[in-house]
Every structure is written in C-alpha cells, then in structure tokens.
Structure 1
Amino acid sequence: MLMLVVPVLNFAQSKVTDFSKLYLDDLYNNSSKIGSRSPDDTNFDDLEAIGKSIGDARIVLLGEPSHGDGGAISMKTRLVKYLHEKKQFDVLLFEADLYSIMFDVANLKDPSGIVASSKENIYTCWSESAVSQDLWKYYTRELTGNNPLKIGGFDPRHAGKFAKTKLIGNLTELAKTTGHDTESKTYRSFIKDLEYILQNEFRSKKDSVNAGNFHSEINNIEEAVMFNDKENKLRQIWLIEINNIRNLFDMLIEGKNRDILMAKNFIFLAKHVFPDQKIMVWSHNNHNVLDVNTYASFDKDFAKNWYDNNTYEGFTYFGSDIFRTFGDQIYSLAITSGTGNFSPKFFGNDYFHADFTKTAKVPKSGEGSLEWYLNKKKSNVLFIPLPKQQGKPSGYPWFSARLLDLGFEAKMDYTSAFNGIIYVNKTVDLNGQ
C-alpha cells in the first residue's frame, strides 16, 4: 500500500508544465524579423512573411495597442505602403467619422486641402501628430495613377467639423430633391434633435429628444431617397449615411454598442461602395478582436458573469461582428510595444484632439508575458503568425500580453482574436519622441 502512494506523491510534487511558455517558444521560433518600422524604408522584403500570412484575405485589420502609440502608427503607415504597392489593397478605412471622411476628405484632390480637412475631421492622433504625417504625404501622392488609394471611415461618431457644420444643410437639400416635406413640424423637430446630438454627443440626454419622431422621420427620409432616381453610387452612400444617422442616435440616446454600429457601417461600405476591392482597416487592437469569447477568457468570475447575464445579446466587438459576415476574408494584425514612450491623452477632453504635450512611459511588462519574453530575447521588431484558429475558442494555450490595450495586461486566448502580431521593442509618442 505504501509503495503505491509514493509515486503519486512524487508526481504531485513535480513542477507543473508551463504550456504558455512552450507556446511562446513555438511562436518565437516561427517568427520573422522586420527590419524597420520606419515608413521611409520601402524595401519590403522583410514584410513578405506578413503578405504570405495574409494570403488571399480581402480585408486586413491594422491594429494598435493605443491611439497614442507613435511607433505603431509608423509601422502601420509602412504596412499601408506595402499592402497598397505589393498586394493591391487600394482602400483604407478609418475608425473615424464616416460622414466627414466619405463626403469631404475623400473627395478632395488638393494636398493642402486634404491636410487641412483631415485635421478637422479625423482624430488628430492620426492626422495632426508628427508620426502621422508620412501617411498623409503618401495618400496625397497616391491619389492618381492606375491604382489610386481611396479612403473612408466607418465610425458612427460625427466628430468632425464637416459633420457638425454641413450635415444638416446637406441632408435637408437631399430631402428636398426627393420631395420630402422639410417644412413640416415633424421634420423641424427631427432637425432640432439631430443638431442637439451633433453638438452634445456623449452629453446628450434621452429626455431631451423625441425618439419616436426621430426614428419615424429618418425612416421616411430613407424611403424617399431609396426610391429616388439619383445617380446610383451617390444614392448608396447617402443611404449608408442615413442609416449612420440612425446609428448615431441609437449610440448616444439608446446606448447601443458602438462596435456593433461600426460593423454595420463597414459591412455596407465593403459590400456596396467598395465591392470586390481589397480593404485596409485603421483602428485599435481591441476593436479588431475576431472572437468575442476572448473577453470571457479574462478570468472565472468575469466569465461566469458574462454567461449568467447573457452578455452576448448586447456586447460584441467590431472585428467579431464583421467576421461573422466575411469569415476567412478577414485578417486581423495586432501590434504591441515593449518599452518606450506613448501619448496618454490621445483624445483629450473633447474625444477628438490629442494633447501632444503629455508623454508617458510604456508600462513595465509582467514576468512571463509576451512583451517580457520578446524583450528577453532582445527582439527589435518582429512578426509572429498565429495558428489559424480565429473566431472561436482556439484550443491553444493562453498567454499574458498587452494586446487589447497598452495599459491592460492579461492572460487570455489571443489566438482566437488575431491572425498575427507585430512586436515593436521601443516605441515613441505621437511627437515621435
């Protein structure tokens, strides 16, 4: 009897296998070095491993761990150049104001006008920062030629100056051309409420608007435009924007999930405005998660609450929602940073203008995390392809990382969330410092 117990005791006292460490070893062994994150480096041989991993995907999501991570913005600019020039990706859509970009910035041809309008209508971390200037120089250069680069946005936030000053007048002119009664009491009430949410945005109060009238009027405008004989492409864009106005109201007044609404906008654009074209998406890592279960993997208590409260009914993320529509046509590429500086006030108090005077240090990586591991390997810039198990719990070991946000480190099922990871050892803030 005693002899039977001894082996069991020895086994119980042996060291538990660290599958996360073994998995990180495998990922590292399959990684490839990237020569530079600088957009000035146009020898793209070091990015071919990324191109091979993307394969035939039509939509590539380019993430960043923080909107204040300047190194990630520079890396993404280089990727835009590579994907446009070598892989025929000709559309770049931002996690930013759909109306202001599609109806203003995207229609401009003069470089100085583009630069000025982008700063007014696209979050300044991506338009006014020092690290974003290479992107706009490249865009203005690629407006002509056999494969011009086209831009757009898919965010229901009407945060740009163009949306706040021009939308109501342009919408009213459109409604008039369809015969819609713009002098009616119901239309004037609708416009009053639209003006209110455009100017107050996240400060908007439900009891300050007439929700029933708003929805009724936007439905009537939509029907009038839908059956109008205006040029087809213009009608399609306006129908997307009319639905986007509905999305704006639902987000600010009804409290609906922004990511679900961004996904609705993106699906419309991908299917009806840019059909059969290859699209790059410029957004944050956590919006680009392909499996919403990734969040439930945070810890046991979080997961229990997640399932008990049927969180799936009202919560998802942009990447997860568009993955349900496009599946393997989507490739999600996350970026993470190990050390360096970043800009913590990337949206400022108005949720638009970055405070370029503020700088912070990238948080120290926890022992055993992906960033800690790669730093110990003295990696500089690295690409790591993940096994093809996205969109559902992957079955691969979880590991700790800051892939969802630069300031949030957790052990989760990141393989279900992303197709690949780019690691930048030392990043910079929005000023390039």
Structure 2
Amino acid sequence: MQKPRLDYLKYVLFIVSAITPILGYGQPKLKQYVQQETKDIPSLITDNSDDLLPIRQAVGDSRVVMLGEQSHGDGTTFLAKTKLIKYLHEQMGFNVLAFESDFFALTEGWKHTSHDSATVSRFFKENLYPVWSYSEECSLLLYNYIPDSYRSTHPLIIAGFDNQMHGRFTTDSLKKSLDEFLSTNHSEYYESDDYKSLFLPFIDTLLPSNYKTTLYLDSLVNTDFIKQLEKFQTAVEGIEKELPNSQKREAPYLALENLKEFAIEICNQGKSASHNTREARMAKNLKWLVEERYPNEKIIVWAANLHIMKNGETSFKNPHLGIASMGHYFSTDSALHQQTYMLGFTSNYGQSQTAPKASLNQPLFLIKKSRRNDFENWIDQELDYAFIDFQAFKKKYPDYADYFKLKARGHSAIEARWTEVFDGIFYIKEMQPSHFLKSKRP
C-alpha cells in the first residue's frame, strides 16, 4: 500500500538531485576562480607596493578608479586606500583625488588655499567630513602624503563631488561667489527684489540643514520652511533658464544646481526621491570633474561602496534592496563606463566605528564572521588582505550573472549579482575601527 508513495518520493528526490547541480553551477564556477586567482596583498605598508601589480593590471588604462568602503568607520580600509592612492599617484599617474564630500568647498577651496602642512591640516578639518578628517587611519594620507606631494612636480589635487555642502569654505565664500557670477552674467533675476530678500538670505538658511537630524527635517513638512524651499527651487530654475550655455560649465553654476537639488532632497526627506536626487547629483558633479575641470587627468574617487556600485537597482536578489547609486548614474555614459574601474571592499570579521563616535567613547560595532558559504570564506583564510578581479572573470564568463553572498553593502552579507556591481573586490580578513585623531598634525 505504501509503494506508490515511496515511488513518488524517489521521483521527487531524483528531480531535486538532477536540477541542484544546474541551479548551483554558476556559484562553484566563481568560487573556483576566487580560490585560484585571488591575489595576496601581504601588508598595507605603503613603502612596499610590488604586491599591487595585479591591481595595476586590472585597472589598465582606466581614467577613473573608484575606491569604496563598507562603512565610514573602517580604519583598516582607510589604510588600504592610502596605500592604493599612493601607488595610483606615483606609479600610474593619477593626480586628482575626489572625495564624497562638499563639492564647492573641496573643489574651489583647494584652488584658493596654500598647500603647506599647517594650512592643509586646517583646510581638511574645516571642509572634509570628520569621519575622514579626524580619523587616525587617514592622517598619513591627509596630513603627510598630500602636502608632501606639493614639493614634487606632480602634486595630488583635491576635489569633492557631494552636493551636501557643509564645509567652512562654502559657508564663507559660496554666497559671494554666486553673487559675483550672476552679476557678471546680467541675470534679470539678479536685479529683482526677490534676489536680495529671498535668494541670497535663504542660502544661509539652507546650508546648515545638512547637519539636521532626520527627525528635525521631518518636522518641517508643511511649514513655511518647505514653502521657502519651493520658492528657492523656482528661483534657481528661473536663473538657469536665463544663463547662456557657455556659463553652465563654470563651478559656480554647478554649485547653484547643487543648492537646488539639496533643497529637493530636503523636500523629499524620507523618500527614495531624496536619495536618488543626491546620487544623480554626485554623478553629475563627478562627470564635470572628469570632463570639464580635469579632462586630461586621471582621477581617484573616495566614497562608500553604496555610492560607487553600478547596477544596484537590478542586481539584488531581494528586489526591495534595489537602489540607485552615483556609480550607476555615472556609468550610464558608456564612454565613462569604459574608462572606470570600481573597486569594492569587504571584510570577514572585526570591528568598525567612525572617528566622531570614537571621540565620544561610544561602543564599537561588531562585525560578525562570514558564514561558511559566503564569499569571504572562499578566500584562503591564511590571507590577511587580497584582491579579486571580477572584470577578468567576466571576460572569461561573460554570461555569468549568479547571486552570491558578500559583505559589500555595509557589514551584512547580502545576496546579489555582485560581479555586475563591482569590477573588483579588495578583501580584508579582520577589520579594525577608525580611531579619533587626537593630536593636530602640522
């Protein structure tokens, strides 16, 4: 009486066993590649760079190299990026370093400041986000290597591409710069009463909003502030229509657009439109740096993994995790996509904490060990640091688009088609947190 049921179970088991290798075929293919082609990076000591030759070969003729980070509290990643930047600058001719930080303050401010150690130290602390400017692990790059480069024939130029403008140089100089820019272009709006009573004063109101909490910004909905934001956006749109196209390639015009879109972000606080506006704006700012400000230079980008990834809207197994990113918007330009190498970072376990939180003695964030079948455990566990080139794998297997788990969006293992998201991965076995820079370096 039980035989039909037993036969049915055998049939089901046969089908499952038959299709399982097919369903899992792609992952072993990548796993085997990782186990065979992972390149060991023995140390993060900057004086020894011979171990970075595989990264040089992977980057090739790219004009833009994007360096990510899982979070802004990853001290070991900052040390790795310092080594990479030194190598890219000295050995591969990358002379511009663009940060995920204030576009106007870093891009324009750097042009108007001297580059001795003391001035550079003050500039970074006043204009670069404190997660980096007050990090002990960033200090060698920011306060030694960069000012020292100005004693050479190829200094490392600093720029920014974030539309969330927070720097001291922006606070002190943006309004004056815009006023001079609009006055020389004889804008009709420049002569209006609204310009002096609404537009200029509102810039001073808008800039501090970058530091406000989400709860505070949510409280502004349906208030006069939101109405002022909308008026400000309308004013900027009117100015943009008046200006000749020849002036729309200037930095003050970009700053004007940044202000408008920052206002849009605040109006859409808590919605995906706010996030998407910022990501698209950062991509436009970076594209301007690449094509207009520094068309003959190679550029290094310093940002979070979340911002540099491409295909983020379609690559996550959980569709609710799909998200637009600066890297996606930037790489929709096929020419820029061909010229760019996006290097994501991951780690197996450890701790993380931003420098500002460290200064307040807040608890460390514990990074749990990756599970047995996660990407981080495909790598030889004797390696402290390593590099895996996804581009080379994709050339060998162009149709590969399988999901696998990787910690590259924060410190959680997420299932995605990661070979579609990054061109390569820098692996760190044990992450150490960022530490607060207590002493001001000259």
TM-score (norm 2): 0.82
| Conserved? CA contact 2:96–2:158, under 8 Å | yes
| Conserved? CA contact 1:91–1:277, under 8 Å | yes
Q: Which residue of 2 aligns with 1:298?
A: 317
Q: Which residue of 1 aligns with 2:440?
A: none
| Structure 1 Cα separation of the partners of residues 9 and 186 of structure 2 | 89
Whether 1:85 aligns to 2:90 is yes
Q: Which residue of 1 aligns with 2:112?
A: 107
Whether 1:277 aligns to 2:297 is yes
Instruction: State the aligned residue count.
Output: 406
Q: Which residue of 1 aligns with 2:236?
A: 218
| Conserved? CA contact 1:121–1:160, under 8 Å | yes
The one-character-per-residue Cα deviations of 1:83-140 (angstroms, maximum 9, x if unpaired) are 0111111111001110111122353222211111211211112111100001111111
Question: What are structure 1's unaligned runs of at least 5 residues?
Answer: 307-314
Q: Which residue of 2 aligns with 1:327?
A: 337
Whether 1:244 aligns to 2:244 is no
Q: Flag the 1:11–1:62 CA change in 2: closer, same or farther, 3 A.
A: same
The one-character-per-residue Cα deviations of 1:270-305 (angstroms, maximum 9, x if unpaired) are 11101132111000111111213454x232x638xx
Q: CA deviation at 1:151?
A: 1.0
1:44-63 residue pairs with structure 2 within 5 A?
A: 44-63=49-68
Q: Which residue of 1 aligns with 2:134?
A: 128
Which one of 146, 159, 163 corresponds to residue 166 of structure 2? Answer: 159
Q: CA deviation at 1:60?
A: 0.6
The amino acid across from 2:140 in the alignment is: D
Identity within the alignment, %: 25
Q: CA deviation at 1:22?
A: 4.3
| Conserved? CA contact 2:101–2:162, under 8 Å | yes
1:27-426 residue pairs with structure 2 within 5 A?
A: 27-38=34-45, 41-108=46-113, 109-136=115-142, 137-180=144-187, 184-187=192-195, 188-201=197-210, 202=212, 203-204=216-217, 205=220, 207=223, 208=225, 209-211=227-229, 213-219=231-237, 221-222=239-240, 226=244, 236-254=250-268, 255-256=273-274, 257=276, 258-295=278-315, 297-299=316-318, 302=320, 316-325=324-333, 326-343=336-353, 345=354, 355=360, 357-374=362-379, 377-387=381-391, 389=394, 395-406=400-411, 408-426=412-430
User: How well do the aligned residues superpose, as a CA RMSD in angstroms?
Assistant: 3.2
Q: Flag the 1:93–1:13 CA change in 2: closer, same or farther, 3 A.
A: closer
| Conserved? CA contact 1:97–1:153, under 8 Å | yes
Q: Flag the 1:355–1:77 CA change in 2: closer, same or farther, 3 A.
A: farther
The amino acid across from 1:93 in the alignment is: A
The amino acid across from 2:340 in the alignment is: I
The amino acid across from 2:205 in the alignment is: Y
Q: CA deviation at 1:218?
A: 2.5
Question: What are structure 2's unaligned runs of at least 5 residues?
Answer: 438-442
Greater CA drift, 22-31 or 412-421: 22-31
The amino acid across from 1:191 in the alignment is: L
| Conserved? CA contact 1:59–1:329, under 8 Å | yes
| Structure 2 Cα separation of the partners of residues 336 and 131 of structure 1 | 17
| Structure 1 Cα separation of the partners of residues 361 and 191 of structure 2 | 45
Q: Flag the 1:294–1:288 CA change in 2: closer, same or farther, 3 A.
A: farther
The one-character-per-residue Cα deviations of 1:238-295 (angstroms, maximum 9, x if unpaired) are 2222222222222222554211111111112211101132111000111111213454
| Structure 2 Cα separation of the partners of residues 145 and 238 of structure 1 | 30
The amino acid across from 1:12 in the alignment is: I
The one-character-per-residue Cα deviations of 1:122-172 (angstroms, maximum 9, x if unpaired) are 111211110000111111111243322111000000122222343223323
Q: Which residue of 2 aligns with 1:11?
A: 14
